[in-house]
Structure 1
């Protein structure tokens, strides 16, 4: 069984965040052990196999190394969290294409002409735009504003996901430092909570 359950067909953000916290604690413990070993004069065997980057290194080198390890762990976790968001939207798309309501119609239009459902874009007249049109046309008041704002918080994460998944070979406009796993988990959770509220207000089913 995989650590990240996908009982609904997509990864669950809370499980991903729990995994991140577990791994982050291990990195912190490993860092502390190395620093303690250095403080004692670096005598005897190191607490675990010494990374080549730290051979002959100073305390500052150790701190910088583990800061970088912690950041790479954050970025990996952010990638998993954003793919979980995309996965849920696509599972919902597959099911909602069979419905007969305004949102389903907009998604069917986005699906037209594409050989496979996974080719429906998230942006550019795709899933996000269909949801936004539905929210603008069928939800009013603060809920409309909150839902559109939540979508605006999630959309840049898709760009960050592309950057992370495709090798980071270009300069991304999204600040990777600002998008911590906790911030992304919260943004994704809030996004789907508000989509569910919008669906309930309009009398259609919740997000899959």
Structure 2
């Protein structure tokens, strides 16, 4: 037995605080090694983006080759560009005992769950529609028309909450972060993980 990481599928409507929560966990809680999955994409790098850090930037031909090799857990085409999650990279990272966060929508989550049923899925909801819309306005990134579109998309996204293992209501950020941390801690305290971590102790306790 060896200590292995857990793949966490985290989904939420835009503005619910998903990315902020993951980043906060990674910066504040280092009891267990963890990182965010870096996707492959065929789009060009934007100013300030670093290959291998923000995305793995590849050509369309290379991406299609990876598809034919079944190298992705899930992939999708968005506005003419492909985005995909590397199965090899995630499996290698998990085997090293590192938890991986996968920030994807419900459709991608279904694909990943089919290929890796043991992945743990978490859905994050806002406390109300009004609060979600307020957060989108407060970000100051989108026009009213774009915000309306995001709200319409949010309703569709939120309707799939019951397909996930855990549900967090982000009404208070610190409380929601504590709940996410509790989920991760619980996974690490499973008997299989603890037996691998404390093998020597268990051998000593059970020896005659």
Q: Does the pair score TM above 0.5?
A: no
Q: Normalization by structure 2: what TM-score?
A: 0.27
Q: Normalization by structure 1: what TM-score?
A: 0.27
Of structures 1 and 2, the one scoring higher in RCO (CA 8 A, sep 6+) is 2
**Which structure has the larger Rg over C-alpha atoms?**
1
The structure where strand makes up a greater share of residues is 2
